[in-house]
Structure 1
Amino acid sequence: MKKNARLLYLLTVWTFFVAFSATATPPIGKDEDPPAASPSITYVLSMPEPQTHYFEVEMQLKNVATATNAKKNGYIDIKMPVWTPGSYLIREYAKNVEAFTAMVGGKPVPSEKIRKNTWRVTTADDNLTIRYRVYANELTVRTSFVDVDHGYVTPASMFMYHDALKGQPHRVVVQPYKAWKTVTTGLEPVSGAEYTYEAADYDLLVDSPIEIGNQRLFTFTAANVPHTVAMFGDVYYDEKRLSADYKRVCEAAATVVGEHPCKHYTFIVHHIPQGGGGLEHLNSTTLETYRTAYSTETNYKNFLTLVAHEYFHLWNVKRIRPVALGPFDYENENYTHMLWLSEGCTSFYEDNILRRAGFHTPEAYLTIVGNDIGTIENQPGNRVQSAAESSWDAWIKGYRPNENSSNTTISYYSKGSVLGTLLNLAILAGSNGERSLDDLMRFLYSEYYKKQKRGFTDEEFRRAAEQIAGRKLDDFFTTAVNSANPINYNAYFEPVGLKLTNVASKTQDGFLGASTSPANGKATVTSVRRGSAAYTDGLNVGDEIISVDDIRVGDDLLRFVSGRRVGDVLKVLVNRAGLLREVSITLTQNPLVSYRLEPLPNQTDAQKALYNKWLFIK
């Protein structure tokens, strides 16, 4: 019995050991692989020969095989964006890429270009290094540039990506040219690593331009947020005055929403011989302006208007946005009907902010509003394309104008600015001065950006606007936004005691309706206004005007039309594609308008109060 009992004991112990072994977690490194390390993406950006206009990029990918399905597929696809957010045009950045190579463990691996912006690397390895060069010789806010004076990087045109890795942190190591000491960007610096920056994801990287060189810097604090201004280019400015005025603009802009979402903000300013504009980013912007931007009061105020516009985008577009404007598809168009709001209402706010900050008097602001209306009403395309259509067609029309564009399109910037004025007035009137467009912006910021963490649909925007206005806004949305029909402006201005008056002088001077270029001593037609005498009677773009009524024109057509009366007939000889043609043109009435806002007689106290509320008059 003792022998049998011992055998039973041994069998029991063995059975328990086998059962435990079958369910216990095996030691790491023996029966299963350790947890995969997180993927990492690092770009090393250098410019060893800036005079050649080339940047060199090394893209280091580590621990990426599982995340990218490389182990399953046997390849990794690396892409270059085709556009950059804020500028709605397919720009084909891949056209500037060359010398794409891929390495694993220091050895080349096969790669091929499979689409216009996509390179396929044949590897299942976890760690991969990609090198390529980018030609950068176009200094705009939408492109990259490098020469012996400085480098500027629009990240969408420089840094490639993998779809599955866009949500991972991305690091950039800048290796400035040997003569350069300063890097300016809105990206977060990595502690203890010189010229090294990190973005939480690829979207943030794309949203953070980089200036590299010896740019001058100054700083100021506005709305309790530190701001840095990087100035490139030979230009004279009064730093004390400019810094103070930046602060005034920024603090006035912050009053719209009432909350500043940035920890810090960066302005990159390029002073160039010609051209201008800006591009907004999440906590920075790039501005381009003339070297004479600060030389006169008019130029100075125009520059501050640009500052106000791009700065206000940190709220409107970057956070208050239609659903189409983020997260972005970097390979295709991102369509929305609401660029009139995102860009146009930002154009409204640029002047509104300068009024709040005291740069515009109430009278000057009224002049701006009247001129804005005149601008769109003088463009024939305003009766063809609605603001919503203009927004949708930005990709094919807005950035690709031709000689007929003024006849068929309207800018969502200029039309949207006017719509911002009208919507502001509609909310003021509907709420008896209790609310304004500011309140709509605050609601959208709070509800969609902060609470729901997304953009809004067209219908959600309309419901929000009507909620803030306290009434239906059918005429605004149906007529002003979604159609090209005439707007009853005075219905919006009457509650503030004003009327819109056409003050264009009524003369008997005839109107031709053709613009010409005086190049090479010739008057060549560059545009023809729809409905004008030139349009109706058959003058064409490209026609070289030889003579009017048998008198040689040269390069000055205007003196042959000036003083002619409505109904006068001009006998015009043109060179059209190498053939002489005679065109008979009957001059018509000048259709151009010039608007001024004038006070209504016998204004009520309610109108006066609303007027003061509208124009920030205490």
Structure 2
Amino acid sequence: MKLHAIAILANFALPNYVTMKQLCTKLCLLMTTVITSTFAAPRIHFEVSFSEPQAHYAEIKMEISDIRKDYVDVKMPVWTPGSYLVREYSKNVESFEACDENGAQLPVTKINKNTWRISSDKRSQVVVNYRVYGFEVSVRTNFIDDAHAFLSPAATFMYVDGMINHPVDVTIIPHPSWSKISTGLEPVSGRPNTYHAADFDILFDSPIEIGNQDVFTFEAAGVLHEIAMVGGGNYDRERLKKDGAKIVEEATRIFGVNPNKRYVFIVHNYQSGGGGLEHLNSTVLGASRNGYQNERSYLSFLGLVAHEYFHLWHVKRLRPIELGPFNYDAENYTTALWIMEGFTAYFDNLLLRRCGFLNESSYLQALANDVNTVENRAGNRLQPVALASFDAWIKYYRPDENSANTSVSYYNKGALLAMMLDLKILAATQGQQRLDDVLKAAYEEFYVKKKRGFEEHEFQALIERVTGVSVDELFHAAHTVEPLDYNHYLNAVGYELVDYNKGRELPELGMTTTASDGRIIVTGVSRGTGAWNGGINVRDELIAINGERLDVNGRELNRVMQTAAIGDTLNIMVARDGKIRELNVVLGRDTKGAFSIVPLQNATPEQARLGKIWLSLE
């Protein structure tokens, strides 16, 4: 090949003034041309079809052209970004086989749980065929039936090991009964139902809905927004467009720029549904199909819209350094989910307040609900929220009967830390700056300029540099279980947190129950309570208390608790694994709070002014 290039160059008529450097440059350019013409760049193309959607299957054809290796390893991700749990998507793959461009079978060996090795012997093309089973209702897993197909790309498409940055095309062949495709992927001009991703990170971040969904659009912040409603519902198209536009405009105002030209909402409407997952230029939401005419349910849905839309800046672009580029083979640990999910959980309700969907009291109650959730959870006194972020992979997405005693939510507690940061910055700058300014500056610093994620200490340093305010105590609080002094921050803007249970001496048993098949079953036992100390177990069946048979509706248990006092001993009969046990339980004092946030009595004019800025009351 070198001799061929030099021979061609020898035929060039070179002027006398051509220097050795220029000659080398010409040679390098020529070599590049020769190499490019001799070895074409690899191409990867998928074709997705549905011969048996009623059985919950998709057929995937993966064409790998011009790779020319002795063997090719193709891999299925084990998790999907935004949902921090190893889900082992390869468990749903079957009938994996490979052939060359002539249809001749190629040897395949599965070398680990999510990797298939194809002995390609430098073939110019490798064609992989496999089927994927999908029948799990969630925003992060495949669901296929005779009505539609929802494809979570990480659960559907494989990648060539070492080629995650390679471009890829996907062609969808809908079932004949389906007519629409909704996705954030870029359509390929002149190729029907074919879409392009610049790399596999983008492909895995672009869910696909195929079926007969109701599709309508609106424009906001200079961006075209598509809403794909799946499963019907009593929604009002025009109201959704109007309210969605308000949220988009308000979120965009915070960051000063909307990074998309087009954004897609895929909404799955169920009899009872919820949850969402953010993506680069789209989101998948779960909703109750008949909940749109109920104001409380509708506000909850708008809060979900606000939360996932806020993520298009905060997580998908402004992010911890550990969250991208991704390792799709294993957990990607970070201690900063309290910043990413927690701050977003703070801003989702704040956006609703700014848009006028929540009045002052409703917004304050939403914040107080977070306080109640955090402060009444025993795990809050055991697990720092930064550790909850790190342990999301093994705790948050795998809750059990003891989770409330051992862990805290980085959503709720992170939202409260975000609130305190916002209030501290507001007060210290006399209302000139707030958390909005920090996030906008961080977006520009790390995503736009440095084109990378941040480390937690860098994020804290940026806050202090932008605002001139030390926030060390709040970042310290994220890494400890020390009590939070909410009123130190709320009082500065004319509000206070009150506990209506403070000073009350009430007995507490410390367990939760449910009625099942005519029996009362224990579902939870709180750390440090009478039930905990007395040996009550989850899954115990409660039979009698103080010699009185318990009724399935819990009336007898309620009567006993209403007349009992702290320190009383209750004799409780339970059935455990088919055996009768009698346990003596000493009632302790109920330590749970009943929190609300209310205007501060005798607030100064400055406190009241800052409060109005905080809650957009002017």
Scaled by the length of structure 1, the TM-score of the pair is: 0.93
SS of the counterpart of 1:76?
strand
SS of the counterpart of 1:164?
coil
**Corresponding position of 1:518:** 515
**Corresponding position of 1:260:** 258
- Equivalent residue letter for 1:97: V
**Distance in 1, Cα, partners of 2:211 & 2:88:** 26
- Is 1:539 the counterpart of 2:536 in the alignment? yes
Equivalent positions of 1:330-341 (< 5 A) are 330-341=328-339
Which of 50, 54, 65 is the matching residue for 2:53? 50
**Structure 1 residue 508: deviation in Å?**
4.8
SS of the counterpart of 2:574?
strand
**Structure 1 residue 33: deviation in Å?**
8.7
Bigger shift: residues 204-213 or 267-276? 267-276
Aligned partners of 1:512 and 1:561 also within 8 Å? no
**Distance in 1, Cα, partners of 2:349 & 2:233:** 25
RMSD over equivalenced CA pairs, Å: 2.2
**Distance in 1, Cα, partners of 2:240 & 2:35:** 63
**Corresponding position of 2:41:** 38
**Structure 1 residue 461: deviation in Å?**
0.8
**Distance in 2, Cα, partners of 1:278 & 1:568:** 46
- Is 1:562 the counterpart of 2:561 in the alignment? yes
**Corresponding position of 2:15:** none
Which of 233, 236, 243 is the matching residue for 1:235? 233
**Structure 1 residue 542: deviation in Å?**
1.9
**Structure 1 residue 375: deviation in Å?**
1.3
Consecutive unaligned residues of structure 2, counting only runs of 5 or more, are 1-6, 13-22
Bigger shift: residues 495-504 or 213-222? 495-504
- Counterparts in 2 of 1:455 and 1:32: CA distance versus 1, 3 Å: closer
**Structure 1 residue 51: deviation in Å?**
0.5
Q: Percent identity?
A: 44
- Counterparts in 2 of 1:449 and 1:547: CA distance versus 1, 3 Å: same
After superposition, the C-alpha distances for 1:294-348 in whole angstroms (9 at most, x for unaligned) are: 0211111111011111111101100110001111110010000010111111111
**Corresponding position of 1:295:** 293
- Equivalent residue letter for 1:615: L
SS of the counterpart of 2:584?
strand
- Counterparts in 2 of 1:566 and 1:177: CA distance versus 1, 3 Å: same
**Corresponding position of 2:449:** 451
Aligned partners of 1:340 and 1:416 also within 8 Å? yes
**Corresponding position of 1:11:** none
Bigger shift: residues 31-40 or 387-396? 31-40
Which of 69, 81, 86 is the matching residue for 1:85? 81
- Equivalent residue letter for 1:43: F
**Structure 1 residue 600: deviation in Å?**
2.9
**Corresponding position of 1:12:** none
Aligned partners of 2:9 and 2:27 also within 8 Å? no
**Distance in 2, Cα, partners of 1:392 & 1:307:** 26
Which of 470, 490, 513 is the matching residue for 1:493? 490
Which of 107, 110, 114 is the matching residue for 1:110? 107
**Structure 1 residue 427: deviation in Å?**
1.4
Equivalent positions of 1:132-531 (< 5 A) are 132-479=130-477, 481-504=478-501, 507-531=504-528
**Distance in 2, Cα, partners of 1:352 & 1:50:** 42
**Distance in 2, Cα, partners of 1:219 & 1:515:** 46
**Distance in 1, Cα, partners of 2:272 & 2:119:** 46
**Distance in 2, Cα, partners of 1:33 & 1:291:** 54
Aligned partners of 1:96 and 1:135 also within 8 Å? yes
Aligned partners of 1:81 and 1:330 also within 8 Å? yes
- Counterparts in 2 of 1:363 and 1:20: CA distance versus 1, 3 Å: closer
CA radius of gyration, larger in: 1
Aligned partners of 1:292 and 1:299 also within 8 Å? no
- Counterparts in 2 of 1:35 and 1:575: CA distance versus 1, 3 Å: same
- Counterparts in 2 of 1:196 and 1:34: CA distance versus 1, 3 Å: closer
**Structure 1 residue 434: deviation in Å?**
1.1
**Corresponding position of 2:96:** 100
Aligned partners of 1:509 and 1:562 also within 8 Å? no
Consecutive unaligned residues of structure 1, counting only runs of 5 or more, are 1-16
- Counterparts in 2 of 1:426 and 1:25: CA distance versus 1, 3 Å: closer
**Structure 1 residue 568: deviation in Å?**
2.3
Which of 120, 127, 130 is the matching residue for 2:128? 130
- Counterparts in 2 of 1:33 and 1:370: CA distance versus 1, 3 Å: closer
